[in-house]
Amino acid sequence: MHELSIAMGIINIAEKETKKANKKCVELIELEIGSLAGVELDSLEYVWSTAVKDTVLEHAKLKIDFKQAKAKCLECETIFEMEKIFDSCSKCNSHFKDILQGKELRVKLLEVV
């Protein structure tokens, strides 16, 4: 389960930023996770409380901004939602598309005290 590594990556970022800001801990952390980022939200939440123990994130409120994947068809310009990365255009079935959102895996914001 790579969600533990993801949690560790988040902790790493939070520890560094908190230290850099000369603060003690994080009150709120906002993540941005796309539906095609390869992260199971349930699994992430499952490992979260164990992972953040004894870190600056131990008592932080976790807010996840989930982004449903969307693409724009390069043939007919339709904007459509994707379930899978290989989904074709919902209107003309073309495979040529620009992914607009859904691959996000970011720490968006930290509130530190």
**Considering the complex, what minimum distance in angstroms separates the CB of residue 26 from other proteins?**
9
Q: Which is nearer to Zn ion, 2 or 91 (CB)?
A: 91
Site size toward other proteins, by CB under 8 A: 43
From the list Zn ion, other proteins, none, partner contacted by residue 18 (C-beta under 5 to 8 A by kind): other proteins
> Of 68-107, which residues contact other proteins (CB under 8 A)?
84-86, 95, 105-107
Q: Please give the backbone phi and psi of residue 51, each rounded to the nearest 5 degrees, phi first.
A: -65, -40
From the list other proteins, Zn ion, none, partner contacted by residue 73 (C-beta under 5 to 8 A by kind): Zn ion
Q: Which residues of 20-48 are buried (b: 16+ CB within 10 A; e: fewer)?
A: eeeeeebeebebbbbbbbebeeeebeebb
Position 4 contacts other proteins (CB under 8 A): yes
Q: Which residues bind other proteins (CB under 8 A)?
A: 1-2, 4-6, 8-13, 15, 17-19, 21, 23-25, 27, 31, 38, 50-51, 53-56, 58-59, 84-86, 95, 105-113
